[in-house]
Structure 1
Amino acid sequence: MDDARTEAARGRWRWLPWGLLAVGVVVASAGAWLGSRSLHALETRAAQLEREATESEAHVAQLQTLRQAMERRLRTLERQQQAAEWGGAAAQVQARNAEAQHMRREAALATLGAALKDALAGGDVSLDLEDDALRMEVSERLLFAPASTQLTPEGARLLKQSAGVLQGALADHRVAVEAHTDEVLPAAPGAPASTAWELSAARAVTVVRHLGEREKLDPARLSATGHAAHRPRVPGDSPPNRALNRRVTLRLSPTPVTPQSVAVASTEPPPRPVKRAAKAKAKKMARR
């Protein structure tokens, strides 16, 4: 009996390692399965977080693009508002100055007419008052010798007489010098220009340099243009007509209104009425 019990106990002890091994295998398998599920869950969560981060970045980029578009639109609206304000102020300044400038051009026309009466009588100079400019045309024979770009003494004297008006009553006007020739360029020994374009441009530059360097006009007011024979006064079908077409035009027009001039005009104090100033002075004297 005791031997049977001993044998049964031995049998149980022989199966114990195998049982423990089976239990270990089961536990390991369960751990591996749980671990694989946890790893899969982590991978899924990581992929989800990566998608959310990508979507967030795209959303941030979209918001940034929208913000930049709104900033550009705001700057555009500010510029439009400034342009509208400046345009209104410029229109007011121009309307206020237009009549005064026209009156000054009329006075300058009379002054030039008196100073250049001999040249006007001889037909070498013509003066015309346009809507927004004063135009003075001078014939070639008074300013230049044929095919020459050097001023004659008579031409220099005429420009000196005209400069007084350009620096005085019309000091706020631009001076556009336009030289015209004809299609016939006389051959002259040592002529500085070989084409009508070169001759007209060189003559315009000569007049501009004389007004700027000799008569001290502001160079910013001056411009020189050569038109050759392409803007004739009359058809160039005869020597007298071609002589009429060979001329230099000085066009005096107001300087365009700029934001700086608008700002200066808007900050200048309004003129004080004479009567009010006289009354204030009388009151001050009475108090004394």
Structure 2
Amino acid sequence: MQAERGRAWVPWLVTVLVVLLAGGVLYLAHRGSAQSQAQAEEARKAADEATARARDAEAARKQAEEKLAALETEHAKLSSEKEQLSTEKEQLSQTVQEQEAELAKLKDTYDDLQDKMKSEIAEGAIKLSQAKGRIQVDLVDKVLFDSGDASISKRGQEVLKRLGGVLAKVDDKAIQVSGHTDDSPPSQKLQATFPTNWELSVARAVNVVRFLEEHGGVRSRRMIAAGYGETRPVSANATPQGRARNRRIEVLLIPELPAKKAALKTARDSR
């Protein structure tokens, strides 16, 4: 009887053990699952953080590349500007040197004219002036021509030979010779040859140019002959002194234009 009672609680013991074992298994399984989830969450967070860091790194890389490209562009621009400034500095320096050389040559020509024409300058027959890279020689008509005539007088020939000796050495200027008159018309004797002061002023200028070429050694391609008649007076025609000042020959030394200067240099070099 007691033996039967002892065997009766065995199934219950087994059931309790099974339940306890199942509970332990479930607990362990749940704990393992929780740990796995926690680990998975940590792994996901780590992956997200790694992705974020990768994005930040990529953004930083792109920003650095953009800054580098901008710096390279700026460097290229500065280099170009530096090169341009250097070129402009060289050109400016060359221009200054050329201008200084030009002024030195102009002064030499002016001083030479003063020396060769000093007697006529002293008596007022010739006026010499210089301005803006130009030299102007004003010769009153009586030093070159007889009254009312376009032919060069003996004294005029001697004066023009000395003038030509200076002008022949000028190789960088155009030489304009222009004739001017007062407002009195040519005399009745001259009107058949020179109907107006236009013809008389042009004829005088042409004769001076021809003489400078033939007897003064001045190259013809450098000279220009022009006649202005009575249209450009330098004094009033109301007095004999004023009319005498207006009857003149002007010799103007004009700087050549760069294009013309280059063409003349090419022509000289090709000879």
**Structure 2 counterpart of 1:152, which letter?**
S
Report the equivalent of 2:158. 157
- Cα deviation 1:14-53 (Å, max 9, x = unaligned): xxxxxxxxxxxxxxxxxxxxxxxxxxxxxxxxxxxxxxxx
Distance (whole Å) between structure 2 residues aligned to residue 165 and residue 127 of structure 1: 13
Are 1:195 and 2:193 counterparts? no
Contact kept in structure 1, 2:186 and 2:197, CA below 8 Å: no
Report the equivalent of 2:243. 242
| Aligned pairs (5 A) from 1:170-209 | 170-187=170-187, 189-190=189-190, 192-209=193-210
Distance (whole Å) between structure 1 residues aligned to residue 261 and residue 147 of structure 2: 45
The change in CA–CA distance for 1:95 and 1:264 in structure 2 (over 3 A counts) is farther
The change in CA–CA distance for 1:188 and 1:101 in structure 2 (over 3 A counts) is farther
**Structure 2 counterpart of 1:146, which letter?**
S
Deviation at 1:214, TM superposition (A): 2.2
Deviation at 1:189, TM superposition (A): 2.9
The change in CA–CA distance for 1:90 and 1:222 in structure 2 (over 3 A counts) is farther
Distance (whole Å) between structure 2 residues aligned to residue 199 and residue 255 of structure 1: 28
Contact kept in structure 2, 1:147 and 1:187, CA below 8 Å: yes
Contact kept in structure 2, 1:140 and 1:248, CA below 8 Å: yes
The change in CA–CA distance for 1:236 and 1:171 in structure 2 (over 3 A counts) is same
Report the equivalent of 1:136. 137
**Structure 2 counterpart of 1:185, which letter?**
P
Distance (whole Å) between structure 1 residues aligned to residue 233 and residue 111 of structure 2: 27
Report the equivalent of 1:216. 217
Contact kept in structure 1, 2:182 and 2:247, CA below 8 Å: yes
| Aligned pairs (5 A) from 1:53-202 | 95-168=96-169, 170-187=170-187, 189-190=189-190, 192-202=193-203
Report the equivalent of 2:18. none
Deviation at 1:143, TM superposition (A): 0.7
The change in CA–CA distance for 1:262 and 1:98 in structure 2 (over 3 A counts) is farther
Distance (whole Å) between structure 2 residues aligned to residue 153 and residue 263 of structure 1: 34
Report the equivalent of 1:44. none
Deviation at 1:224, TM superposition (A): 0.7
Deviation at 1:216, TM superposition (A): 2.8
**Structure 2 counterpart of 1:210, which letter?**
F
Note the residue ranges of structure 1 that are not aligned, 5 or more in a row. 1-87, 269-288
The change in CA–CA distance for 1:259 and 1:217 in structure 2 (over 3 A counts) is closer
Contact kept in structure 1, 2:177 and 2:209, CA below 8 Å: yes
Deviation at 1:259, TM superposition (A): 7.6
Give 3-state SS (helix, strand or coil) of 1:127's partner.
strand
The change in CA–CA distance for 1:94 and 1:214 in structure 2 (over 3 A counts) is farther
| TM-score scaled by length of structure 2 | 0.59
RMSD: 2.8
How high is the sequence identity, in percent, across the aligned residues? 27
Distance (whole Å) between structure 1 residues aligned to residue 206 and residue 235 of structure 2: 24
Deviation at 1:261, TM superposition (A): 2.5
Distance (whole Å) between structure 2 residues aligned to residue 166 and residue 209 of structure 1: 14
The change in CA–CA distance for 1:180 and 1:92 in structure 2 (over 3 A counts) is farther
The change in CA–CA distance for 1:152 and 1:102 in structure 2 (over 3 A counts) is same
Contact kept in structure 2, 1:90 and 1:257, CA below 8 Å: no
Distance (whole Å) between structure 2 residues aligned to residue 152 and residue 263 of structure 1: 34
Give 3-state SS (helix, strand or coil) of 1:141's partner.
helix
| Aligned pairs (5 A) from 1:31-70 | none
Note the residue ranges of structure 2 that are not aligned, 5 or more in a row. 1-87
Contact kept in structure 2, 1:90 and 1:262, CA below 8 Å: no
The change in CA–CA distance for 1:216 and 1:111 in structure 2 (over 3 A counts) is closer
Contact kept in structure 2, 1:175 and 1:223, CA below 8 Å: yes
**Structure 2 counterpart of 1:159, which letter?**
L
In the comparison of the two structures, how many residue pairs are matched? 178
**Structure 1 counterpart of 2:126, which letter?**
V
The change in CA–CA distance for 1:206 and 1:113 in structure 2 (over 3 A counts) is same
